[in-house]
Amino acid sequence: MKPMYIAPVDQSLGDEEWRPFVEAQAFGHFIAPGIGLEYPVVVPTQYVLDKSEVLVHFAIPNPVLDALQANPRSILSVAGDWAFIPSNWKAIEDEDPALGIPTTYYAAVQLRGRAQVKNNPSDIANILRRQLAILQPSVPISDPLQSDSGKLKSIRAVVLNVEEIAAKFKFGGNVNPQHQRAVIGHLKARQGPGDLAALAHAARRLASSEEKEA
């Protein structure tokens, strides 16, 4: 069983689409099923995607660390750029607005693989430096081993080695270009939270689809 359903029209266009989305979000849910747990451990967390590795760190009391020790297989789940599409937006020309079908546009990516828990202070400091070099590239970074050696004892760094990627971009690919353009126009006019990001995804994917058909 696949952890996330992805309709053919919602498949990612590739690395050039899902990777910038994941890098821009920088916050997601780290999921560790463990072994014999009633529920998987789900941790909201800041993360950094560095090539094929997801870098995170957790406080020692966090139950995710015990779950990872029991079973290193885990998932980083990232979702965002969502926008609700009212039913009347799905009607164009002489179509009855009352018969339109509402939906939600959104992007979702799951990065799956095996995680390594880093206990050594030098390894933890190295992960923190790598995180900060990406999160705040223009800000000077002190050496955690020198400035925060005591605090390093209270955390563990985790490296998720990405082995599988599932990416879903649900932005109107199931309807014809005329209806897609109508929704894009409404998003541009409304400009609510997430609307412009959703608009950019929808417009890019529509242009890609039309280019393939040309």
Domain of 109: which CATH number? 2.30.110.10
pLDDT greater at residue 34 or residue 1 = 34
pLDDT above 70: residue 1: no
Residues sharing a CB contact under 8 Å with residue 34, sequence separation 6 or more, in sequence order:
40, 41, 66, 67, 68, 70, 71
Supply 141's token pair. 């970074």
Q: Is residue 119 part of a domain?
A: yes
> What global pTM score does this model have?
0.94
Q: Is residue 97 part of a domain?
A: yes
Q: Is residue 38 part of a domain?
A: yes
Based on the structure, what is the number of domains in the chain?
A: 1
Give the pLDDT confidence of 10-24 residue by residue, as tens digits.
999 999 999 999 999
Q: Is residue 2 part of a domain?
A: no
Give the pLDDT confidence of 53-77 residue by residue, as tens digits.
999 999 999 999 999 999 999 999 9
Q: Is residue 3 part of a domain?
A: no
Q: Is residue 1 part of a domain?
A: no
Residue range of the domain that includes 122: 8-213
Supply 151's token pair. 């605090």
Supply 27's token pair. 């916050």
Opening angle at CA 189, ends 184 and 191, nearest 5: 90
Q: Is residue 30 part of a domain?
A: yes
Q: Is residue 175 part of a domain?
A: yes
